[in-house]
Structure 1
Amino acid sequence: MPRDDREHTGTRIAAARKLAGLTQRGLAQTIGYSYSLVHQVESGHKPASPDLVAAVARALRLDVTALTGQPYVTELQQDRLEGLIRPIREALDLYDLGADPDLPVRAAGQLVAAADDLCRLVRAARLNAAATLLPAVIAELTTAAYRRPSTTLWRALGSTYRTAHDITVKLGYFDLSTIALDRMAWAADRACDPLLAAVRQYMRALVYHREGEHRIGLRLIASGHGLAADAEPTPDAVAVTGQLHLGASVIAARARDAALVEDHLDQAKVCADRTGESSTHWLSFGPTNVACHAVSAQVELHHYDTALALAAGVELPHSWAPSRQAHFHIDRGRCQMETGRTDAALESITTARRLAPQQTRYHPGARETIKGLVYMRRTTPDTLDNLAAWIGL
């Protein structure tokens, strides 16, 4: 089935490699991957894994988005999401202007509820609704926090900045997500909330995980642990500590340090045994999340059969956020595709799309899995044709 593949990740890697004056063999030697894999990725016959993309970007001193093509503007325009980015950018720039004298604000309890509703919308993968409401809530909370400063209001404002980060990351605007995290630190400092600050370090670490900068990512996790240790010894502090260990496990897996992966997963399990299934600062932590991260770590280590065996034992609670469930199915779909289980992979990605359509459409891993399935199958069923068209292939 003929397709226009001029804009897939492999062709972007090839163009960047040529500009750097490297052959395929030269690039393969530089990043520590096989020539055969680089050749297949560039020709479009094998999907570009996140770790390979990060390795190429690091070697060629590029941002990962230069290779993935994010943000996916055509699809964003189709979903009427691109026009929502500028208001978010403007709202993030209000932080040092003080109170808006012309802006009426609601009571503190109503504003906290509005911030929580935004988190809830993102976890439900309703990105359009969250992105539409976010700028006004940021503006209102900024003014309220300046007029009557309190830990409650600064913490709620920090939560909206975290939501801005979540939305912009999912839509591929990573420059804006970094600004949102800076604002989150600013609010956390005024809230005197070490756990909010620790969550921010966790999220910063995942940014460096995406870019393949493992050492910086692990240093940020260590910084987060220090902040969490300064908090009151509550169940929330235990949950944040456990989540930091989960983040470290995936970063260590990308760095191919299996021993460090197991160490962090073991420590996360100890925390999960103490908390059970819990949610704090809109992080879902507990035994289920530990099990899902164990799968993700094996995916990053390229131990796909092991990952599938672990995934078979995971039972996702119905109460779990659709965004988190979809991420699990995307991981599983990648494993199934890599091990030749194309029908199962198609089912997993279809499930992710049903649970969180916008998140799945803009997830680089899901897109690469769909592309991989197209190239692996001699005939494509209607469902796969539909998915391929959906991501613009």
Structure 2
Amino acid sequence: MPLLDDDHTGSRIREQRRLARLTQRELADRIPYSLSLLNQVECGARPATPGFVAAVAHALRVDSSKLTGPPAVTALPADRLLALVAPIREALDRYDLGPNPDLAAVRPEPVLVTEAEALCQQVRATHLRAAAKALPALIAELTHTVWTAPSTAVWRALASAYRTAHDVTLKLDHPDLARVALDRMGWAAGRASDPCIEAVQRYKRATLWRCATSAPLITSGQALLAGETSREALAVTGQLHLGLAIVAAKAEDATAVETHLAAAREMAARVGGEAGDVHWLSFGQVNVKLHELGASIAMRSFDEALGQARALTPANSMLTSRRARYLVDRALVEMEVGSPKTSLKFLAQARQVAPEQTRHLPGTRATIRGLVHMSRRAPDGLRGMARWVEL
């Protein structure tokens, strides 16, 4: 089984060597160091000196930063990434400054509410750049409107826009800004007096916390909905149970995992169908099965995960973001059980379905690294995938 936490200079040298389709002997012949030393460095038994790294980088024709890490997690050039993120940051920062006199025009409330919903849909369809470009103007107009003509609908729309800002900035590898967006979401949700939105906000916050401390935050979200029996409240409560199941899986508490999955199944039965219209959670029996798979992966129960993955047949109506996540999870499981060709096939499907999201999912890099470790000489398809994620 590949060691997915085996992340040091030697392991990255091994990855790049295999991507270059070289054996250790062939690489050693190209550098002024012995085969024995190269082997020890790749295994982590000896440190890689700056001179050694420079020689290997020259031989492999890669920048030395690829060998010394940490590896890049976003494929956008820094200037283009900044151009997307900086306006969102500025829009988030104006939340408490009152009406904005610099706005030339502000669209009517129904138009703003509709666009907030549309941007949520764009993120679920993994159109991240389009959503990122439209967000600053929407947040600015909604912020101006809540100060000049506040209403419950506008506060809800602003909370939704802040949630979208969280989703986009997190996927673009700006977790600190994602936290700011969630703070703003909580601020708006409180003024909307909407416990479901507040509960979703706490669920989102928990995903950014360490596993050991996230459970109380999710539980506090459930407390906000205690006694609520609406379809919306049941769907949100069920989703919180799924979040607690993943937290329990990371803590290797199999009993708690099944307890929360069982509760989620019950909620899904009461909701009926897939609640894709409830805060874009798409809560239902399929979502429960996807989280069962995620829990098995978190507990490294890959044989069980394989059976769960094969039993799932994502419908065409499934949100693109969820379909891509399933395909990456399936690729990871296939790799872990020793089926590299099948793994690469599912990874390629994920890339085709949602290239922006797939590139940034941690499971994508973990799978590619594992496949490289399994291959003496990486096939062209794997080499291309590794270049795509800048491995």
Instruction: Give 1:1-393 correspondences, 5 Å limit.
Output: 10-11=7-8, 43=44, 69=70, 72=73, 75-77=75-77, 80-103=80-103, 104-208=105-209, 213-229=210-226, 232-275=228-271, 276-279=273-276, 280-393=278-391
Contact 1:308–1:332 (Cα < 8 Å) also in 2: yes
Residue 95 of structure 1 aligns to a residue whose secondary structure is: coil
Q: How far 1:340 sits from its partner (Å)? A: 0.9
Name the residue aligned to 1:26.
none
Q: Which residue identity does 2:308 align to in structure 1? A: L
Name the residue aligned to 1:24.
none
Alignment CA distance shift 1:84-1:13 (3 Å):
farther
Q: How far 1:375 sits from its partner (Å)? A: 2.0
Q: How far 1:305 sits from its partner (Å)? A: 0.7
Residue 302 of structure 1 aligns to a residue whose secondary structure is: coil
Aligned counterparts of 1:12 and 1:110: Cα–Cα separation in 2: 52
Contact 2:9–2:42 (Cα < 8 Å) also in 1: no
Q: How far 1:258 sits from its partner (Å)? A: 0.4
Residues 105-142 of structure 1 deviation map (CA, whole Å, 9 limit, x = unaligned): 11111001110111111001111111111111110110
Q: How far 1:70 sits from its partner (Å)? A: 7.7
Q: How far 1:311 sits from its partner (Å)? A: 1.1
Residue 282 of structure 2 aligns to a residue whose secondary structure is: strand
**Alignment gaps of 5+ in structure 1:** 1-7, 15-38, 45-66
Aligned counterparts of 1:267 and 1:341: Cα–Cα separation in 2: 34
Aligned counterparts of 2:251 and 2:190: Cα–Cα separation in 1: 32
Q: What is the percent sequence identity of the aligned residues?
A: 46
Q: How far 1:327 sits from its partner (Å)? A: 0.7
Q: Which residue identity does 1:240 align to in structure 2? A: V
Aligned counterparts of 1:114 and 1:160: Cα–Cα separation in 2: 9
Contact 1:168–1:177 (Cα < 8 Å) also in 2: yes
Q: Which residue identity does 1:96 align to in structure 2? A: D
Name the residue aligned to 2:57.
none
* Number of corresponding residues: 335
Contact 1:239–1:272 (Cα < 8 Å) also in 2: yes
Q: Which residue identity does 2:97 align to in structure 1? A: L
Aligned counterparts of 2:125 and 2:208: Cα–Cα separation in 1: 22
| RMSD, matched Cα | 2.5
Contact 1:70–1:172 (Cα < 8 Å) also in 2: no
Aligned counterparts of 2:353 and 2:149: Cα–Cα separation in 1: 40
Q: Which residue identity does 1:136 align to in structure 2? A: A
Q: Which residue identity does 2:344 align to in structure 1? A: L
Contact 2:71–2:390 (Cα < 8 Å) also in 1: no
TM-score, scaled relative to structure 2: 0.81
Q: Which residue identity does 2:225 align to in structure 1? A: A
Q: How far 1:80 sits from its partner (Å)? A: 3.5
Q: How far 1:366 sits from its partner (Å)? A: 0.6
TM-score, scaled relative to structure 1: 0.80
Q: How far 1:390 sits from its partner (Å)? A: 0.5
Contact 1:242–1:267 (Cα < 8 Å) also in 2: yes
Q: How far 1:79 sits from its partner (Å)? A: 9.8
Alignment CA distance shift 1:43-1:133 (3 Å):
farther
Contact 2:245–2:257 (Cα < 8 Å) also in 1: yes
Aligned counterparts of 2:274 and 2:139: Cα–Cα separation in 1: 30
Alignment CA distance shift 1:344-1:334 (3 Å):
same
Residue 213 of structure 2 aligns to a residue whose secondary structure is: helix
Q: How far 1:259 sits from its partner (Å)? A: 0.3
Residues 78-105 of structure 1 deviation map (CA, whole Å, 9 limit, x = unaligned): 8943420111111110110111123221
Contact 1:10–1:43 (Cα < 8 Å) also in 2: no
Q: Which residue identity does 2:102 align to in structure 1? A: D
Aligned counterparts of 1:79 and 1:369: Cα–Cα separation in 2: 28
